[in-house]
A and B are shown apart, each in its own frame.
Chain A
């Protein structure tokens, strides 16, 4: 009897120690995983160099086996994967590799999940990144610079960190201003090519359609969600300075928001536009889904979105014959260069936590090969990032190139380690700042001054030169 009781107590103690062990052993494991990560990274780099020399052998390699977790957030990619049996097609070449596709609700949720999984050594084998998350996860991604996919990608090497390509961008992301041609024509508005023209066009549209329709918005921007102001708040400083690295430049300055700086000029332009009444009666009360639907129903004349926005607009209307696009004109006059943002989007990378890195690299190679990528890129509205699979733009999106033959591409970088550290320290949230501009009593000069103070303090505290 006593023995049984003792055995039960010991079992419980053992269970408890397992729970405790799970929690407290992180440090050691993390330290080990870091070393392993470094070793694996070097190993993979060597292996992938070999791969570049003999990609054909790798493609037919039946020795690769295991299960790969492929974590995504993109609804369009998820639909395409399901409709086109991605796993089955991959297994035609790699019969012993299983793929588990893990769909996460949206990109915000994706980063939250990935952060937690990174700290628990549970990252998926293959993950996606945005330009602004590459530096955050750089310790958990292996170098793909030796792969054929990287060699054929026009943007990958431009986003290399310390010479390592940590992800292959799936698409080239361009930003557009979508507009209804018939509404422009009815209000007697020409497609703007400078910022003053853009402001004037928005005001004319608001006055013309707003007099009969109190719900009308010249520019649709769902500020309730905050993020839809990113074409203005995130990209305009880069467009103003023609410097895709503007966040990194700012990280080296003590007062980057001071009068006369590019971000100061850009945000003043945005503030004047947002507060001129062209966003309709209550932009802070509407989210992006709502304003996109209202734009599709022609309750708004203009909406600034990425190329992915075309599919969302098409989902809300059957007739896009009058839909057009132009690039956001941020220049002050026609004599200034017409800067246009381009960025790599959805960087596919292989994580250091993957137990089947060879198979994961093989999957990346396969994904960007003739077997899969051309069909995928033709399915989505985004532009191709692969030089070997060029894609013609959708006629709606191509209009912006016709209207702007002299565009100057600015390759956007989401900000490196120093910028991210300062941003976290100062809690600088440019998307929230854009929404705050619409609140009563908001003082932009005071907000920028406060940011300058915080910025200088953060640089001193973090020791950033």
Chain B
């Protein structure tokens, strides 16, 4: 073996070992510890904890407030899911020859780089029932009849919060789609154009299949984001009124820190990991196995 080969081999081994060890130390080991903790009744500060088997899992399943919180997560999930189509369309539009495309790119990405807590504070004042900007806008355009208790009506509060979440994260998805669209070789697109493909055909038969990996990532990010949404409801409503706008993560944190039940909170954290994987598998099956089945043939 030459010296260069030895060096190369050494480099490859190190490149594999170091990330693997870091992954074990910071991901695998905490995950195992989390699972172990989910089988205990640890209160978060006492030195001792007892092994209680699957009791926490039974308690979690029987908790109706937690199910309500999970239902609220579903609102974020579906609203973001429907918006992905719009985000994709917007990305195609911005990738094309649109005037002031750079300006629009900055505008759509800006909300994502602003601190989430700051955004939530700003929107809680925007939707405030007294001196709130949104109500003022509606009054100015003589739409007073549409004014609602935006942050305290259990029927609409989750949609208001999901709107804020959309405002913040849509730009991020658009930028991801744009990056993927720009990576499509121009000659493929030009060849299709020469063959007489119109814009819709380009989009359907060339652009979408070419960026499917990114679409998969965005869909996964949507599941993860929707199930782990925290800062927006935490700052804007604290999960209220009651548990009307609470989310799974918010309820987990309340269980851990307000009710000092770290064991049960760990169980919820394990459940959220399992749900993310499960929903992703189901979603993948639905999209690739059913919707895009024909395309594969």
Q: Does B225 contact A (CB under 8 A)?
A: no
Q: Is B4 an interface residue, CB under 8 A from the partner?
A: no
Partner of B240, one of A8, A136, A224: A224
- Which residues of the other chain, A, contact B17 by a CB distance below 8 angstroms? 9, 12
Flag whether A435 is at the interface (Cβ < 8 A). Answer: yes
Complex formed: what's the CA distance from A283 to B255 in Å? 25
B257 to chain A, nearest CB (A): 5
**A299 lies within 8 A of chain B by Cβ:** yes
Q: When chains A and B are docked, how far (Å) is the Cα of A12 from the Cα of B15?
A: 12
Contact across chains for B18 and A12 when beta carbons are under 8 A apart: yes
Which of the 9-residue segments A194-202, A263-271, A323-331, A436-444 touches chain B? Answer: A436-444
> Once the chains bind, are B257 and A284 in contact (CB under 8 Å)?
no
The stretch of B39-47, B84-92, B186-194, B283-291 that contacts the partner chain: B39-47
Q: Which of B1-53 contact A (CB under 8 A)?
A: 6, 10, 13-14, 17-18, 21, 24-26, 29-30, 33, 43-48
| Min CB gap B14→A, angstroms | 6
Closest CB in chain B relative to A35 CB, distance in Å: 10
**B residues neighboring A (CB under 8 Å):** 6, 10, 13-14, 17-18, 21, 24-26, 29-30, 33, 43-48, 65, 124, 127-131, 149-152, 154, 237-238, 240-242, 244, 255, 257-261
B10 contacts across to A, CB distance below 8 A: 1, 4-5, 8
CB-CB < 8 A to A449: which residues of B? Answer: none
Is A314 engaged at the interface, CB distance under 8 Å to the other chain?
no
In the complex, per-residue mask of A215-240: 1 if CB is within 8 Å of any chain B CB, else 0: 10000000111100000000000000
Docked-complex contact A432 and B29, CB < 8 angstroms: no
* Nearest A residue (CB) for B260: A424
Q: Determine if A16 is an interface residue (Cβ-Cβ < 8 Å).
A: yes
| 22 A-B contacts (beta carbon < 8 Å) | A4-B10, A5-B10, A15-B21, A16-B24, A115-B44, A115-B260, A119-B44, A226-B240, A280-B130, A281-B149, A282-B152, A284-B151, A284-B152, A284-B240, A285-B150, A286-B129, A299-B130, A427-B65, A427-B259, A438-B152, A439-B242, A442-B242
Query: Is there a chain B Cβ closer than 8 Å to A379's Cβ?
Result: no
Say whether A224 contacts B238, CB under 8 Å: yes
Which of A1, A9, A294, A438 interacts with B6 by CB under 8 Å? A1
Task: Report whether A19 and B14 are in contact in the complex, using a CB–CB cutoff of 8 Å.
Answer: no
Kindly list the 9 A-B residue pairs having the minimum CB-CB distance in the complex, ordered from nearest.
A284-B152, A19-B25, A30-B47, A282-B129, A285-B129, A436-B242, A118-B45, A285-B152, A424-B259
Indicate whether A335 reaches chain B with its CB closer than 8 angstroms: no
Cβ–Cβ contact A8 & B14, under 8 A:
yes
Q: A408-450: which have CB < 8 Å to B? A: 420, 423-424, 427, 429, 432, 435-436, 438-440, 442
B70 to chain A, nearest CB (A): 16
| Known interface pairs A19-B25, A424-B261; A137-B242 also in contact (CB < 8 Å) | no
A67 within 8 Å of B (CB atoms): no
A156 to chain B, nearest CB (A): 23
Interface residues of A (CB under 8 A from B): 1, 4-5, 8-9, 12-13, 15-16, 19-20, 23, 27, 30-31, 33-34, 111-112, 114-116, 118-119, 136-137, 139-140, 215, 223-226, 280-287, 290, 294, 299, 420, 423-424, 427, 429, 432, 435-436, 438-440, 442
**Complex: A97 Cα to B189 Cα, angstroms:** 73
For B33, what are the chain A residues with a Cβ–Cβ distance below 8 Å? Answer: 23
Q: Is the CB of A5 within 8 A of B13?
A: yes
| Of A137, A285, A294, A436, the contact of B45 (CB 8 Å cutoff) | A137
- Are B151 and A224 in contact, with the CB atoms below 8 A? yes
State in angstroms the CA–CA spacing of A30 and B47 once bound together. 6
| Cα-based distance from A13 to B17 in the complex (angstroms) | 9
Do A423 and B259 touch across chains, with their CB atoms under 8 A apart? yes
Residue of B nearest to A8 (CB): B14
In the complex, what residues of A have CB within 8 A of residue B260's CB?
115, 136, 420, 424
Of the residues A12, A215, A223, A427, contact of B21 by C-beta under 8 Å: A12
In angstroms, Cα B42 to Cα A116, docked, is 12
Cα of A94 to Cα of B255 in the assembled complex, Å: 43
User: Given contacts A118-B45, A285-B129, A424-B261, are A436 and B21 in contact (CB under 8 A)?
Assistant: no
Assuming the A-B contacts A23-B30, A115-B44, are A285 and B261 also in contact, with contact meaning beta carbons closer than 8 angstroms in the complex?
no
Contacts A8-B10, A9-B17 known; 11 new A-B pairs at CB < 8 A: A111-B257, A112-B257, A115-B45, A116-B44, A118-B45, A119-B44, A285-B127, A287-B124, A427-B259, A432-B240, A435-B241
B240 touches A435 (CB 8 A): yes
A439 touches B25 (CB 8 A): no
The answer to whether A281 and B129 have CB atoms under 8 Å apart is: yes
Bound CA span A114–B10, Å: 45
Q: In the complex, which residue of chain A has the Cβ closest to the Cβ of B237?
A: A224
User: Could you tell me if B149 and A284 are in contact, using CB atoms closer than 8 angstroms?
Assistant: yes
Question: Which residues of chain A have C-beta atoms less than 8 A from B29's C-beta?
Answer: 19-20, 23
Contacts of B25 in A (CB 8 A): 15-16, 19-20
For the complex formed, measure the closest distance between the CB of B288 and the CB atoms of chain A, giving whole angstroms.
37
Which residues of the partner chain A approach B237 to less than 8 Å between Cβ atoms? 224
Q: Which A residues are CB-close (under 8 A) to B43?
A: 424
Q: Which residues of A contact B6 (CB under 8 A)?
A: 1
Quote the shortest CB–CB distance from B5 to chain A (angstroms): 11
CB contacts (< 8 Å) of B65 on chain A: these are 427
